[in-house]
Structure 1
Amino acid sequence: MFDVIIVGAGPVGLYLGALLLQEGQSVRILEQRPVPSQHSRAIGIHPPALQALERAGVAGTMVAEGVRIPLGIARSGGREVARLRFDEAPPWPFVLSLKQARTEAILAARVHALDPAALLRGVRVDSLHDAGGCVTLSGQQRGEVPGAVELPASFQARLVIGADGAKSTIRDLVNIPTTGRDYPDSYLMGDYPDTGSDRAAAVLHLEPGGIVESFPVPGGLRRWVVHTDSLLAEATAEDLAALITERTGEGVDAGANSMLSSFRVRSTMATRMVQGRVALVGDAAHEISPIGGQGMNLGWLDAAALAPIIVAALRGEGTGDQLRDFQRARLRASHRASRQAWLNMVLGRAVPAPCLSVLHALLRPALRLRRVQNLAVRRFTMHGLG
């Protein structure tokens, strides 16, 4: 019998596990992947998330390894439309760029330092029974896990947390309905050596053919994200390089590409985040468009809000009102983040050049106003969603 079982060892599940282990709770984190994924879609860590990560003792390591982005620049046709500075929002006056695979490795190391037995890989959960006083999870070991020992057929815990992503098994097992929609937006992204002059700035190219975004990544790389008319699942590094040059005039070394991915955008919202002795966090509760880096950061803020409620409940000090308030606040934050992500996508879609010129003519004077700048910076850096 464990205090808490967390299903899912992505960045959110690992972070929540670290917070609970620090409080002396007995925790098991079950992950169905036999080995950590090296695919890195999420790279942006926003200031409110860094503040939360500091509670788990990992923010300093991440900042030391990542790239600090103090500035965002919008361009169109090679001309600057606007710029936003993030360096006036202490104590974390930047957005941090760090590949998700490395973020997960740092969090997994923190969990291991707190309890070497806490993380169990290669465990797929197949069934869940909430008996009122405890929850029983049954599953099976899948794949070859280096150094693994034979695991029990079932686990019991006083509480279970589903941090198992947008296709959450835990959400399905406790019959929490979802709402959502598929967007018409598709993207192609890849990492190339950073040979330009933008250094640590994030750059948004607002072009008639659709937005092109670029962000510095550790290792002297730059991540490019291009809005496409349809999903280019078979695209090559050369195809992405050609799109970048066609829209921005900038060249990248296609032969030195180190990551390539295409994806569509979908939004999914759970109608509730708490069901009996089970709670959902992160993408299991709210899948947010990846544009703007909302999903991973929002999940960390879920975990930071839930951890003290869990600790209080396990010590007999909590109330049902705390969980209801948590659910209400986090669902409200996720809907706000979803609306912001939708706006980001709309602004990045293909648009006729004359319409784009009118939009930029409106944006330039507006973004010179201090109040508008501050609002834009707060929205871009996810302040107010904690």
Structure 2
Amino acid sequence: MTTERVDVLVVGGGPVGCFAAALLAERGIDVAVWERRADPPSGSRAIGIHPPSLDAFAAIGLDRAVLSEAVLVRTGVARSRGRELGALSFAGASATHPYVATLDQHRTETLTRRRLPAGALRTGTTLTGLHQDRSRVLAEGTGPDGSPRSVEAAFVVGADGGHSTVRELLGIATRGRDYRHRYVMGDFADPEDPSARSTALVDVGPDGVVESFPLPGGRRRYVALVGVTGEGSDRSDSTGTAAARLADVVAERTGSTPDPSTCTMTSDFGVRRREATRTGIGRVVLVGDAAHEISPIGGQGMNLGWLDVTSLVPMLATALRAGAGATVPITARTAWARRRRAAARRAARQAEVNMALGLPAGVAGSRGRDALLRTALALPTASTLAGLYAMRWA
């Protein structure tokens, strides 16, 4: 078996890993990506792309490609029991992108893969071992046919998600908690009034939250809280029964009537928060969900991963330019880890607030919550809230 040699190996070919590799390649760094999945990207999953991420995408021209397909959400409207409580405008959230873009994850991932050098992405390749010394890392794995693979790299970036093999091989533990909240989401033909086609809607009625976001192709994603008991893991369910059940929940709580026959996906998921106790060891670094996993309510997790690598890549590039055996100074790496951990914790706290605001409250409790939201959205400081949701702080 021949051992390949590259500057950086990225483990995980999802949107975060491919973006990291594309940024590295743009700087002239020899990079390879190992991705366990053999099939092309599919499914809508994460859809929100925030202004700081769009700014970062500009380095490889990905911003133009994404914006040519995405819906631009310029306003968020809060509702309850058929009444509008107030609205947030994203007009002042960013000087470059005064909106949040929505695009199916598989399209974002596909567009990012197209920015990789030819042959850099190795699909169907599973990592099985990591060994490092002071100057290099040896990664071992298996290819699509089960044959052994090995790569020697100056650095390894672990972008392989919440169940990270890289993190496990490094022996890094996680801390956090599982929440009792359970949600169902689904993508339907958009039944809302045409005036809301660039608007995110959040209904916080007595029975629990229903959020919805416009998607390309005249579609809309609905996310509904369906319970607060039991533990659950992500599982997909595209049956007509699941679509009909979600459509009924949306109709009962909001008055909107999505057509189950137009549903292209449903997913039932639980929520958890995790943080790796270390952001890496030696020449191996964790980014995205491998380093910090937060609630998807708020749509900031994928963006956190992109912003992790945006500030990591320049440090790796500087070390590689310094020559063989050079590494990232410990002070720079510690400062990077501190900043990214702080950003993840801030996003996690914001997601917890979002979840709390969407819990069932009964009629009396809902009235109090409605009054609070109506007041908050009417104040001049509402623009600050828009900046928080658009990740202006990141």
The TM-score bracket by the shorter chain reads over 0.9
1:239-277 residue CA offsets vs partner (Å, 9 max, x unmatched): 111111111111111111111111000111011213100
2:103 alignment counterpart: 98
**1:243 maps to amino acid:** V
**Alpha-carbon RMSD:** 1.5
Q: Which runs of 5+ in 2 are unaligned?
A: none
SS at match of 1:195: coil
**2:182 maps to amino acid:** S
**1:110 maps to amino acid:** R
1:245 alignment counterpart: 251
SS at match of 1:382: coil
Distance across 1 between alignment mates of 2:391 and 2:331: 26
Distance across 1 between alignment mates of 2:55 and 2:224: 30
1:209-240 residue CA offsets vs partner (Å, 9 max, x unmatched): 11001100001101000001156967611111
1:146 alignment counterpart: none
1:193 alignment counterpart: 189
SS at match of 1:262: strand
2:222 alignment counterpart: 224
Say whether the 8 Å CA contact 1:274–1:327 is kept in structure 2. no
2:149 alignment counterpart: 153
**1:14 maps to amino acid:** C
Matched, 1:369 2:379: yes
Instruction: State the shift of 1:82 in Å.
Output: 1.4
Instruction: State the shift of 1:374 in Å.
Output: 2.0
1:8 alignment counterpart: 12
**1:157 maps to amino acid:** A
2:81 alignment counterpart: 77
**2:217 maps to amino acid:** G
**2:172 maps to amino acid:** I
Distance across 1 between alignment mates of 2:147 and 2:17: 20
**1:39 maps to amino acid:** G
1:332 alignment counterpart: 342
Say whether the 8 Å CA contact 2:191–2:256 is kept in structure 1. no
Distance across 2 between alignment mates of 1:289 and 1:384: 18
Distance across 1 between alignment mates of 2:184 and 2:72: 24
1:27 alignment counterpart: 31
Correspondences of 1:53-72 after superposition (within 5 Å): 53-72=57-76
2:124 alignment counterpart: 122
SS at match of 1:110: coil
1:340-376 residue CA offsets vs partner (Å, 9 max, x unmatched): 11111111111111111112212222322212x1221
SS at match of 2:114: helix
Distance across 2 between alignment mates of 1:292 and 1:173: 31
Distance across 2 between alignment mates of 1:362 and 1:253: 33
Where in structure 1 do 4 or more consecutive aligned residues deviate above 4 Å? 230-235
2:276 alignment counterpart: 270
1:101-135 residue CA offsets vs partner (Å, 9 max, x unmatched): 00000000111xxx201110000001110122110
Distance across 2 between alignment mates of 1:128 and 1:346: 41
1:260 alignment counterpart: 266
Say whether the 8 Å CA contact 1:201–1:216 is kept in structure 2. yes
Distance across 2 between alignment mates of 1:151 and 1:65: 38
Instruction: State the shift of 1:152 in Å.
Output: 5.5
2:139 alignment counterpart: 137
1:355 alignment counterpart: 365
Distance across 2 between alignment mates of 1:192 and 1:19: 34
2:306 alignment counterpart: 300
Distance across 1 between alignment mates of 2:317 and 2:148: 26
Say whether the 8 Å CA contact 1:274–1:323 is kept in structure 2. no
Distance across 1 between alignment mates of 2:383 and 2:218: 30
Instruction: State the shift of 1:151 in Å.
Output: 6.7
Q: Which runs of 5+ in 1 are unaligned?
A: 144-149
2:392 alignment counterpart: 383
Q: Which moved more, 1:205-214 or 1:32-41?
A: 32-41
1:24-72 residue CA offsets vs partner (Å, 9 max, x unmatched): 1110000000112312210000111111111121001101110000000
Distance across 2 between alignment mates of 1:61 and 1:262: 30
Q: Which moved more, 1:90-99 or 1:351-360?
A: 351-360
